[in-house]
Amino acid sequence: MRKDVSMRLVLIEEASTDDRDRENMCDYAIPLFLRYFEFRYFDQIHNTPSSMTLGSSGSSVVVPRNFRLLEELEKGEKGIGDGTVSYGMDDGDDIYMRSWTGTIIGPYNTVHEGRIYQLKLFCDKDYPEKPPSVRFHSRINMTCVNHETGVVESKKFGLLANWQRRFTMEDILTQLKKEMAASHNRKLVQPPEGTHY
């Protein structure tokens, strides 16, 4: 059973490290995607942790970038929690899955209550090793957001400043919503609703 998982993971790692050009992407993307989910479901059936250690070398499995983003896309499409936070891809034809739009509905008992905020998230090639760039499209007054550009400044936003590979776009949006309700942001005077950067 362990050898079976190892063989599947080797296939995933080999295919994900090949430097294929754009034209050949579709020829291997679907089989690779199916292999990955076969591995995921194998884990669930056999109760094997997805970050298991293989062989005697002690190396752990790192989920390739595109598979990680496919998981996030699936979760975003299903909906998150109470529906006040959501996200999705901007361009379904972008095989690199770089550009995303997030939405946050302002939390209760704050100046943000009932407001709908749109954000742009950009996942570069080094995501999830490094955080995506995050920028509010809707105007907002928050201590961690640049007032001129709408960019969420990583030095002022703990999740981006202390980024870990396991963090997701959902985590970013959820934490930004919590930040809206924080004492230093909940009563700040806001720009007119519906204005954009």
Task: Name residue 191's amino acid.
Answer: P
Q: For residue 34, is it within any domain?
A: no
- Which CATH number does the domain housing residue 167 bear? 3.10.110.10
Residue 170 Cα distances to 80, 85, 123, 148, 178, angstroms: 8, 8, 13, 25, 12
In a domain, 144, yes or no: yes
- Assigned domain for 186 exists: no
Determine the Cα–Cα distance for residues 130 and 145; give it in Å rounded to an integer.
19
Q: Tokens representing 172?
A: 């970013």
Flag whether 163 is in a domain.
yes
**pLDDT beyond 90 at 30:** no
Q: Please check the confidence at residue 197 and state whether its pLDDT lies above 60.
A: yes
Q: Is there a domain that residue 5 lies in?
A: no
Question: Is 48 a domain residue?
Answer: no
Please check the confidence at residue 102 and state whether its pLDDT lies above 90.
Answer: yes
> Which backbone phi and psi does 58 adopt, to 5 degrees?
80, 15
**Local confidence band at 78 (pLDDT 50, 70, 90 cut-offs):** confident
What percentage of the chain carries pLDDT values higher than 90? 63
Domain that holds residue 113: 63-181
Residue 156 included in any domain:
yes
> In Å, what is the CA distance from 191 to each residue of 106, 140, 142, 168, 178?
14, 6, 11, 28, 19
CB 125 within 8 A of CB 65: yes
* Residue 16 falls inside a structural domain: no
For the chain, what percent of residues have pLDDT higher than 70? 70
Tell me how many domains the chain contains: 1
Which pLDDT score, from 0 to 100, does residue 2 have? 42
Distance, in Å, from the CA atom of 122 to the CA atom of 117, rounded to the nearest integer, reads: 17
Handedness of CA 34, 36, 38, 44 (dihedral sign): negative
